[in-house]
């Protein structure tokens, strides 16, 4: 199995890595690039804990090959905050207790950000369906939906 040399952009930074052809983007991010914010809850697309954006589209990093990242732009939870300034979703998740254990949180934040870019003023139902691929076992989702709404309102008024 010959390793591949890949050039990509992660959170705006030009990045290169070497990976095996069957290695997933999630493994690359976590094991080769030190970006362990994306979590592996299942490795089979069922939980959303590994959510990242690939050329602006929300995807499961566990269902993308590292090789497919060549020439692409990848966004992860590590890229959400600007400097020491948290993204409104991040600050509102803390303020409104939208996380308990927090392991689903990186994926949910990345997914919610993608939603608000597409639809800055979603209904609760739209948020619930958009986030249906992000499992959270701790919160019952209630506070997550509310925090996304509050962040969305804050972003609309910014």
Partner 1 sequence: MALDSEKKQVFKVVGTRPARPDGIDKVTGRAMYGADATAPGMLVGRILRSPHAHAIIRSIDTSAAEALKGVKAVVTSADFGAPEDESIRDVQDNCMARGKALYHGHAVAAVAANSAVVASQALKLIKVDYQILPHVTDVDEAMRPGAPVVQADRAFENVAAGFSENVTSQCEFGHGDLEAGFAKADKVIERSFTTAATHQGYIEPHACLASMTPDGKGDLWCCTQGQFHVRTVCAEIMGMDASQLRVTASEIGGGFGGKTTVFIEPVALALSRKSGRPVKIVMTRDEVFKATGPTVSSSMDVKIGMTKDGRITAAQARLRYQAGAFPSETVTYGAQSAFAAYDLKAVETIGWNVLTNRPKEAAYRAPGAPMAIYAVESVVDELCQELSLDPLDVRLKNAADKGTKSSYGPTFEAIGLRATLEAAKAHPHYTAPLGVNQGRGLSCGFWFNFGGNTCVSLNINTDGTVGITEGNPDIGGSRASISQMAAEELGIPYEKVRTIIADTNSLGYNDVTDGSRVTFSVGLATIEAARNAIKVMCGRVAKIWGIDEDAVIWEDGCAKPSGPNAGSFDPMSIEEIAAISANTGGPIAGHFEVNADGAGVSFGVHLADVEVDPETGATKVVRYTVFQDAGKAVHPDYVEGQMQGGAVQGIGWALNEEYIYGKNGLLQNPGFLDYRIPVASDLPDIETVILEIPNPGHPYGVRGVGETPIVPPLAALSNAVSRAIGRRMFELPMSPPKLLKAMSQKR
Partner 2 sequence: MRYEKPSTAQEATNLLATEPGIARVLSGGTDVLVQIKAGMIEPDLIVDIKNLDRIRDITPEQGGFRIGAAVSGATLGEHAGVTALWPGVVEAFELIGSTQVQGRATMAGNLCNGSPAADSVPAMVAANAIARIAGPDGARNCPVQDIPVSPGRTALAKGEFITSIFLPARPERAADAYLRFTPRTEMDIAVASAAVSLELDADGTCTSARIALGAIAPTVVLVDAASICIIGTKLDATSLEAMSEACSAACNPIDDKRGTVEFRTRIVGVLAKRAALIAYKRAGGRA
Ligand X SMILES: Cc1cc2nc3c(=O)[nH]c(=O)nc-3n(C[C@H](O)[C@H](O)[C@H](O)COP(=O)(O)OP(=O)(O)OC[C@H]3O[C@@H](n4cnc5c(N)ncnc54)[C@H](O)[C@@H]3O)c2cc1C
Q: Which does 155 bind (CB under 5 to 8 A by kind): ligand X, partner 2, partner 1, none?
A: none
In the complex, the smallest distance separating the C-beta of residue 100 from partner 2, rounded to whole angstroms, is: 21
Cβ distance to partner 2 smaller for residue 22 or 95: 22
The DSSP annotation for 71-135 comes to T-EEE-GGGSSBTTB--HHHHHHHHTT--SS-SSHHHHHHHHHHHHHH-SS--HHHHHHHGGGS-
**Do 59 and 69 meet the contact criterion of CB atoms below 8 Å apart?**
no
Q: Which does 76 bind (CB under 5 to 8 A by kind): ligand FES, partner 1, ligand X, none?
A: partner 1
In the complex, the smallest distance separating the C-beta of residue 45 from ligand FES, rounded to whole angstroms, is: 5
100 binds ligand FES (CB under 6 A): yes
Cβ distance to partner 2 smaller for residue 64 or 144: 64
Cβ distance to partner 2 smaller for residue 43 or 83: 43
Among residues 33, 58, 61, 144, which is the contact residue for partner 1, using CB under 8 A?
144
With tokens 């095996």, the residue in question is 20
CA 109, 57, 48, 79 torsion: positive or negative?
negative
| Residue 85, C-beta contacts closer than 8 angstroms, at least 6 positions apart | none
Question: Which residues in the 22-51 window bind partner 2 by CB under 8 A?
Answer: 22, 24, 43-46, 48, 51
């Amino acid at each position: 199995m010959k390793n591949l040399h890949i050039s990509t952009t992660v959170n705006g930074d030009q990045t290169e890595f070497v990976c095996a052809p069957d290695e997933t983007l999630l493994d690359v991010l976590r094991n080769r690039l030190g970006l362990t914010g994306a979590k592996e809850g299942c490795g089979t697309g069922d939980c959303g804990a590994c959510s990242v954006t690939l050329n602006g589209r929300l995807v499961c990093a566990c269902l993308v090959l590292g090789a497919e990242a060549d020439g692409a732009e990848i966004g992860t939870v590590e890229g959400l905050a600007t400097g020491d300034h948290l993204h409104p979703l991040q600050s509102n998740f803390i303020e409104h207790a939208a996380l308990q254990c927090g392991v689903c949180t990186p994926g949910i934040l990345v997914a919610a950000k993608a939603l608000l870019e597409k639809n800055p003023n979603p209904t609760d139902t739209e948020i619930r369906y958009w986030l249906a691929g992000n499992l959270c076992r701790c919160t019952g989702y209630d506070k997550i939906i509310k925090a996304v709404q509050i962040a969305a309102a804050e972003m609309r008024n910014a």
